[in-house]
Structure 1
Amino acid sequence: MDDAPRRTIPIKLDVSEERRGDLHQTKSQFLHCANRTSEWAWRYDDYCVTSKSKAENSLYDELREETDLTANLVQKGIRRAIEAVDAGVEKLQQGEQTSQPEFDSWSVVYDKRSASFNDDHATLSTPNGRVTTEYVLPPEDEREDTPFGRYYESDDWDASSATLQYDEQDDTFYLHVTLKNPDYTVDRTERQEASHDDDGAENGVVLGVDLNVTGAFAVTSTGKFIGSADYLTHKRDQYEKRRARLQQTGTRSAHLTIQSIGSRFSDWSLDWLHNRANDLIAEAQATDVDGIIFENLDHIRENIANESKFQQWTYAKFVELVEYKVESTALFVDTVNPAYTSQRCSHCGFTHEDNRDDKEFACQDCGYEVNADYNAAKNIAKRYCGYIHRGQKSRGGWATSQLALESGTLNVNGEYTPSALRG
């Protein structure tokens, strides 16, 4: 099993006008392979096929005939669908409702056989030959403290695969490049030994995360706002209104439709949470932290007891997905009881209910003003660092800890280290 740590970094691409259509065509044919495979593998009346080799043996020739993709991209499309079918089967076995996976999001999966990753550009396979895509990068002297500089330009990290995505609103292509470092374990040990305190205690860095019912779904102590809780609630409300109208009809057809749209919404919600979990992990990796710290789920349930079971489920499922996804990385996940973290000033520590007014935080003592969720995220990380400082052992195995901020780290004694000075 390949357990080498991974980092995924997004790179904006500059694609010539005459070749942009080739990338869109690649996406259409790639998703055709995935959807055709999903249709073939999803069999309620028999059994769902979850074997990648069986799917390739049955569909490869057909899909090669139906598309102009290279062999590797056809295989990638088949395997992507089988992975989704396998996840669906697991849900069915657990008694959960689900339906045949459908692929409509703009994405194409590449590896080294269908793409090449160079210093300042990548070449990507398409039905009309390879397309050269230039990287849109900051000036060379400003890259050192960016994810591109720390990982992509490092000799220790090797680009192994990538997912091509397209932002329709900005009309922009992005390449999310996954890099592996098989020697990272040794490097990490050396780095920890070099960062021991005077008493020999190891030191780590954690990322605090505040989860929300309104506004941004997740806010980190580095100031990253991930997803929209309002949008998620809006989609849920749309589903509930449609279900209520169908329930009033009371026919068997309406009942079957309710089951169908419920299954589709469940799949959509899970996919949305998967993407937000990936966004959070990407932020953790980009800021080079060791752990991700959430509120204790029991405390979350108490805070949102009057909210829908769906919102309680989204919190629990999101944390579960992050815990699962970090298993293949060097990161860990832990929790704290965040009592009063929304009322406490992350700048001076003064705690009062008047400090917070919805999404605005203004300390009544020192005057510090900031987004309330960002303030809470910093307090969550600080609370964890305080636990470690007082003798609790972290999941990372260290006896001291710092919290990650937008431009550096802060330890429990209030000592600030800018990013440029971090190891």
Structure 2
Amino acid sequence: MVDDAPRRTVLIKLDVSSDREADLHHTKNQFLDCANQTSEWAWRYDDYCITSKNKAENALYNDLKEEHDLTANLVQKGIRRAIEAVDSGVDKLKKGEKTSQPVFESWSVVYDKRSATFNADHATLSTINGRVKTDYVLPPENEREDTPFGRYYENDEWDASHATLQYDEHSEEFYLHVTVKQPRGDNEERQEATSHGEGTENGVVLGVDLNVTGAFAVTSTGKFVGSADYLTHKRNEFEKRRGRLQQTGTRSAHLTIQRIGSKFSDWSLDWLHNCVNELLEEAERVGADSIIFENLKHIRENIANGSKFQQWAYAKFVELAEYKVEDRDLFVDFVSPAYTSQRCSCCGFTHEDNRDDKAFVCQQCGYEANADYNAAKNVAVRYCGYIHRGQKSRGGWAACQSALKSGTLNVNGDFNASA
């Protein structure tokens, strides 16, 4: 990774005018109500619990927004907070641990840069009644250097990304827990050290190839995630059953179609959710800074023979990955898909005869590999090539390396074996 500890939390006491305290308390009440309503909707013992933030927002946002006076961003934050807790509960259940539906009672409101502004000596926070200016209660300027506020919040190398507002009922004081993040790649000293060969790591990218047969996702490190064949099989079984019911034509059959359609939709989302979790685990295992897919605009070209459902699954998988990396030290980006399946990731020779279904054999150098694994490596190498030619990554790197099975490879062909 570029930085072993890129995040810090800075606790800041706030000075809130007495005439605006009620606005913050009412905002908290509505924020927690959004989270609790979402939790109740998502937690289902008799069916699959809902762990998709996107599905929850689609189902609940409009009603919650109409019911509450919160800004759109705070409604979304309340939904997402609940889904994250439900997701954690589902993981515990899968491990055989006891847990129950998440309930939110502790005083807290989650803010990001759209609902709050973090300034040098104050913050402005969104409430049900407009923005509230809250001054920071700080030690004298000459005493801040050795405090978290001085080391991180006032340090230009750290950036305030989001915060949690809390209230101490005993002291009747408000506190802001500000999370600051050290941006990747834009530290001049780090870039200078890299250019002088001092061994500073650059960005590490994990290439991903998505498929409609074989493994659903294959990474440049050789990780095979999910079975596209199994997903297609489940879809076909659903279509066969729906077809039989449609031929029946009764009202009961119609209601059954709706019910099994909803169950299949929930199952599909849960399946994709678990696949994304596997992908993120692999990215963290190899120390990747980014996950690279082929450009979504070319979905139809990549799976021209696939159904609309397969295209939806492809797009939804990437969408879920983008959602889940928001709170991690990762980002998602894309490359052109042109010839990634025909190019040899070993020597670069590109020819349509190199690939035969899932087998890849380079007609020039003789390199043999699983075709999807070879394509995933090409995705990673192509992104590194973009950066090498001067294109800025979302991490701001000056250079990067491809994550492979046993180490990393840069564009010059230098291989660094894993420890």
Q: Same fold (TM over 0.5)?
A: yes
The AA in structure 1 aligned to 2:94 is: W
Paired position in structure 2 for 1:124: none
Deviations 1:258-303 (A, max 9, x none): 0000000000000000100010000000000111000001122222
Q: Structure 1 residues 237, 187: CA separation in 2 closer, same or farther (over 3 Å shift)?
A: closer
1:375, 1:186 → 2: CA distance?
32
Paired position in structure 2 for 1:350: 349
State how 1:30-179 maps to structure 2 within 5 Å: 51-52=35-36, 89-93=56-60, 106-108=94-96
1:110, 1:184 → 2: CA distance?
34
Q: Structure 1 residues 359, 382: CA separation in 2 closer, same or farther (over 3 Å shift)?
A: same
SS of match in other structure, 1:409: strand
SS of match in other structure, 1:351: coil
Q: Which shifted more, 331-340 or 186-195?
A: 186-195
Paired position in structure 1 for 2:288: 289
Is residue 360–residue 368 contact of structure 2 (8 Å, CA) maintained in 1?
Answer: yes
1:311, 1:54 → 2: CA distance?
29
SS of match in other structure, 2:334: strand
State how 1:1-400 maps to structure 2 within 5 Å: 51-52=35-36, 89-93=56-60, 106-108=94-96, 185=182, 192=190, 196-198=194-196, 203-400=202-399
Is residue 210–residue 218 contact of structure 1 (8 Å, CA) maintained in 2?
Answer: yes
1:313, 1:55 → 2: CA distance?
26
**Percent of paired sites with the same residue:** 65
SS of match in other structure, 2:346: coil
Q: 1:304: Cα distance to partner?
A: 1.6
Q: Structure 1 residues 389, 243: CA separation in 2 closer, same or farther (over 3 Å shift)?
A: same
1:55, 1:354 → 2: CA distance?
52
2:257, 2:181 → 1: CA distance?
49
1:230, 1:208 → 2: CA distance?
21
Q: Structure 1 residues 54, 213: CA separation in 2 closer, same or farther (over 3 Å shift)?
A: closer
Q: 1:401: Cα distance to partner?
A: 1.2
1:261, 1:54 → 2: CA distance?
23
Is residue 216–residue 230 contact of structure 1 (8 Å, CA) maintained in 2?
Answer: yes
Deviations 1:383-416 (A, max 9, x none): 1001111110011101211100011100111111
Q: 1:219: Cα distance to partner?
A: 0.3
Q: Structure 1 residues 328, 347: CA separation in 2 closer, same or farther (over 3 Å shift)?
A: same
The AA in structure 2 aligned to 1:106 is: K
1:364, 1:85 → 2: CA distance?
44
Q: Alignment RMSD, CA only?
A: 3.8
SS of match in other structure, 2:333: strand
SS of match in other structure, 2:412: coil
2:371, 2:220 → 1: CA distance?
11
1:192, 1:297 → 2: CA distance?
32
| Structure 2 unpaired stretches of 5+ | 9-32, 63-85, 100-178
Q: 1:92: Cα distance to partner?
A: 2.5
Paired position in structure 2 for 1:136: none
Q: Structure 1 residues 52, 408: CA separation in 2 closer, same or farther (over 3 Å shift)?
A: same
TM-score by length of 1: 0.59
1:193, 1:108 → 2: CA distance?
47
Is residue 246–residue 258 contact of structure 1 (8 Å, CA) maintained in 2?
Answer: yes
Q: Structure 1 residues 86, 226: CA separation in 2 closer, same or farther (over 3 Å shift)?
A: closer
SS of match in other structure, 2:340: coil
1:275, 1:324 → 2: CA distance?
14
Q: 1:306: Cα distance to partner?
A: 2.9
1:86, 1:393 → 2: CA distance?
29
SS of match in other structure, 2:226: strand
Q: Structure 1 residues 363, 5: CA separation in 2 closer, same or farther (over 3 Å shift)?
A: farther
The AA in structure 1 aligned to 2:36 is: K
Q: Structure 1 residues 414, 88: CA separation in 2 closer, same or farther (over 3 Å shift)?
A: closer
The AA in structure 2 aligned to 1:90 is: E
Is residue 209–residue 220 contact of structure 1 (8 Å, CA) maintained in 2?
Answer: yes
1:416, 1:53 → 2: CA distance?
51
1:238, 1:375 → 2: CA distance?
32
Aligned residue pairs: how many? 280
The AA in structure 1 aligned to 2:253 is: A
1:294, 1:321 → 2: CA distance?
13
Q: Structure 1 residues 390, 186: CA separation in 2 closer, same or farther (over 3 Å shift)?
A: closer
2:349, 2:55 → 1: CA distance?
48
Q: 1:51: Cα distance to partner?
A: 4.5
Paired position in structure 1 for 2:409: 410
SS of match in other structure, 2:287: coil
2:340, 2:52 → 1: CA distance?
41
TM-score by length of 2: 0.59
SS of match in other structure, 2:194: coil
1:287, 1:371 → 2: CA distance?
20
The AA in structure 2 aligned to 1:401 is: C
